[in-house]
Amino acid sequence: MIRKASESDADAIKDVINSAFCAVEQFFVEGDRVTLAEVEDGLRNGAFLVAESDSRIEGCVYVELRGERAYLGLLSVNPKQQQRGTGSRLVQAAEDYCRKSGCAFMDIKIVNLRTELPDFYGKRGYVETGTSPFPPGVETKLPCHFVDMTKQLR
């Protein structure tokens, strides 16, 4: 089941995001991906959609409405539950949510070092539109930048 998250889900969302990102990003960045305060900010500024199984949050995705454009980020699935289609279902639910809210485009940013991601999103209709710098102040073990991608929703 996929649903819109509430404030009471913030801690579980933080845990899923940090476990998912630690599993795949520890080779270029140290520490947690998000804090509880950042998740709470996300709940105020946008929405998290969560995938549940047996009343446990197994995955999430963040969406933020920005006029006719929307932003998708923090797609995360519990590492023990990956490769079961949860990530794809969350992306589809995020696109549907934003489409129903009147958005015509979905934008994402992926780290260039995550070489599996362009193919994952490309198979779902996203195309590369350029690059942007990694946030200042985030220390990385390797030089990196974002690859910007977008998908037309309607």
Q: What is the pLDDT of residues 54-101, one digit of tens each?
A: 999 999 999 999 999 999 999 999 998 888 999 999 999 999 999 999
State the alpha helices, DSSP H only, in the chain: 10-25, 36-45, 86-100, 117-122
- At 47 the three-state DSSP class reads strand
Q: What does the pLDDT read at residue 16? A: 97
Q: What does the pLDDT read at residue 40? A: 98
| Domain ranges, ordered by start, for the chain | 2-152
Calculate the alpha carbon distances from 1 to 35, 42, 52, 135, 148 in Å. Answer: 25, 21, 5, 33, 29
Q: What does the pLDDT read at residue 137? A: 85
pTM tops 0.85? yes
CATH superfamily of the domain spanning 2-152: Gcn5-related N-acetyltransferase (GNAT) (3.40.630.30)
Q: What does the pLDDT read at residue 136? A: 87
Buried b / exposed e over 16-54, threshold 16 CB at 10 Å, is: bbbbbbeebbeebbeeebbeeebbeebbeebbbbbbbee
Q: What is the pLDDT of residues 7-59, one digit of tens each?
A: 999 999 999 999 999 989 999 998 899 999 999 999 999 999 999 999 999 99
Q: What does the pLDDT read at residue 23? A: 83
> What is the C-alpha to C-alpha distance for residues 108 and 130, in angstroms, rounded to an integer?
11
Q: What is the mean pLDDT of residues 107-135?
A: 96
Per the DSSP assignment, residues forming a β-bridge with 77 are 59
